[in-house]
């Protein structure tokens, strides 16, 4: 009797919450239901449960590009959700850092809003002992130095990650950028910090092979983190998000890019800003789940080589 894809308790890909005999898993999945850093529509705190719920659809088969099932390649667990502090962005950031730091496996997180990435990068900086690269899918540069008067918010992680020495923007890429942004912040991003920015329009109008080659060239062999803000995707394909911007990437483009990046030196991932209250027919959550699944396939594909 095979259970159908609509059946069962909902962890990510029906993963267990721990391995037998407390064995260390290869990969840990965790939710971070934090959205106090949101500037427009809150609600990404329900992102992890929405992604877990729909991930059931990915249980039945191999990835059609990589021709493998990551659940068969790795030992993986879904440990549930990180603790966060209900009334403080700063103390939540510290708490997220501590929890991430305590996980010794390869960590993949489901947000929550983008604020959380700062803490995740801080933990990786410590582990890898040098500034790491980021491949950053987003509609927004997220290098603002403040968030409508607050120090930290979902528009500030890469400002503080750069200023804190966690990341190396010159070996990092931002893809899908298209929001309103002050010229000062844009200049800071591209000139001062030195991010390689690929706008959404470029993805639409330039041959994707050039885009992919540019990413590979920029990142090189540096340890690299994938931070995927679902709002890089067009609002039609990802309506369930807090700060949508029109003219976005299509899911096929993001998949086509990611699927070619299997040779990079990946050290972790997050998928943020899925806000189910604005979703339609779970398509945003499905996109989020599929991008995480694709990342796991990238890791497995590299492993297999």
Of residues 45-64, those binding a copy of itself (CB under 8 A): 45-46, 49, 52-53, 57-64
From the list 5-13, 102-110, 122-130, 221-229, the region that binds a copy of itself by CB under 8 A is 5-13
Cβ contact 11:58 at 8 Å: no
Does an H or E element contain 158, and which? helix 157-163
237 contacts a copy of itself (rule: CB under 8 A) = yes
Secondary element (H or E) of residue 94: helix 89-102
Decide if 93 contacts 114 (C-beta within 8 A).
no
**Neighbouring-strand partners of residue 110:** 31, 271
Q: Segment near a copy of itself (CB under 8 A), from 87-95, 102-110, 221-229, 266-274?
A: 87-95
Q: Site map for a copy of itself, 264-283, x if CB under 8 A?
A: -------------xxxxx-x
Binding a copy of itself (rule: CB under 8 A), the pick from 8, 164, 165, 220 is 8
Q: Tell me the chain's radius of gyration from C-alpha atoms.
A: 18
Q: Which stretch binds a copy of itself (CB under 8 A): 100-108, 149-157, 212-220, 224-232?
A: 149-157
H or E stretch covering 114: none
Q: Which two tokens stand for residue 217?
A: 């060239």
5 binds a copy of itself (CB under 8 A): yes
State the Cα–Cα distance between residues 109 and 124, nearest whole angstrom: 13
CB 24 to a copy of itself: min, Å: 20
- Is residue 229 at the binding interface for a copy of itself, with CB under 8 A as the rule? no
Beta carbon nearer to a copy of itself, 102 or 182: 182
Of 222 and 243, the one with the shorter C-beta distance to a copy of itself is 243
In what helix (H) or strand (E) does residue 175 lie, and over which residues does it extend? strand 173-177
* Structure-derived torsion over alpha carbons of residues 153, 158, 159, 163, reported in degrees to the nearest 10: 130
Task: Report angle CA 15, 19, 24 to the nearest 5 degrees.
Answer: 115
User: Which residue stretch of 78-86, 100-108, 122-130, 160-168 sits at the interface with a copy of itself (rule: CB under 8 A)?
Assistant: 78-86
Q: Which is nearer to a copy of itself, 64 or 129 (CB)?
A: 64
Among 101, 250, 267, 302, binds a copy of itself (CB under 8 A): 250
Nearest residue (CB) to a copy of itself, 26 versus 113: 113
Q: Is 200 in the site for a copy of itself (CB under 8 A)?
A: yes
Instruction: Report how far residue 51's alpha carbon sits from residue 286's, in angstroms, rounded to the nearest whole number.
Output: 7
Closest contact distance (angstroms) between CB of 253 and a copy of itself is 8
Q: Does 152 bind a copy of itself (CB under 8 A)?
A: yes
Residues near 27 by beta carbon (within 8 Å), at least 6 away in sequence: 74, 75, 76, 77, 105, 106, 107, 108, 296, 299
For residue 71, give the H/E element and its range.
helix 70-73
Which range touches a copy of itself (CB under 8 A), out of 102-110, 160-168, 183-191, 260-268?
Answer: 183-191
């Amino acid at each position: 009797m095979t259970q159908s894809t609509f059946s069962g308790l909902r962890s990510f890909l029906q993963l267990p919450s721990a391995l037998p005999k407390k064995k260390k898993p290869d990969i840990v999945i965790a939710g971070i239901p934090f959205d106090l850093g949101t500037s427009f529509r809150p609600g990404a705190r329900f992102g992890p449960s929405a992604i877990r719920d729909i991930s059931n659809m990915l249980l039945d088969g191999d990835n059609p590009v990589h021709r493998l099932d990551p659940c068969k390649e790795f030992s993986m667990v879904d440990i549930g959700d990180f603790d966060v502090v209900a009334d403080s962005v700063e103390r939540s950031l510290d708490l997220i850092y501590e929890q991430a730091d305590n996980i010794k496996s390869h960590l993949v997180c489901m947000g929550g809003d983008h604020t959380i990435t700062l803490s995740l990068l801080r933990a990786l900086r410590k582990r890898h002992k040098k500034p790491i690269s980021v491949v950053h899918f987003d509609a927004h540069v997220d290098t603002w130095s403040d968030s409508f008067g607050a120090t930290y918010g979902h528009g500030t992680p890469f400002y503080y990650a750069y200023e804190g020495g966690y990341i190396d923007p010159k070996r990092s890429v931002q893809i899908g950028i298209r929001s309103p942004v002050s010229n000062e912040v844009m200049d800071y991003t591209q000139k001062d910090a030195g991010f390689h920015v690929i706008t959404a329009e470029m993805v639409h109008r330039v041959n994707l092979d050039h885009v992919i080659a540019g990413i590979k060239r920029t990142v090189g062999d540096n340890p690299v983190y994938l931070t995927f803000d679902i709002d890089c995707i067009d609002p039609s394909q990802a309506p369930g998000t807090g700060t949508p911007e029109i003219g976005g990437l299509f899911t096929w483009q993001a998949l086509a890019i990611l699927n070619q990046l299997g040779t990079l030196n990946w050290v972790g991932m997050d998928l943020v800003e899925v806000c189910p209250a604005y979703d339609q027919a779970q398509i945003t959550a499905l996109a989020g789940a599929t991008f995480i699944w694709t990342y796991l396939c990238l890791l497995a594909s590299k492993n297999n080589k």
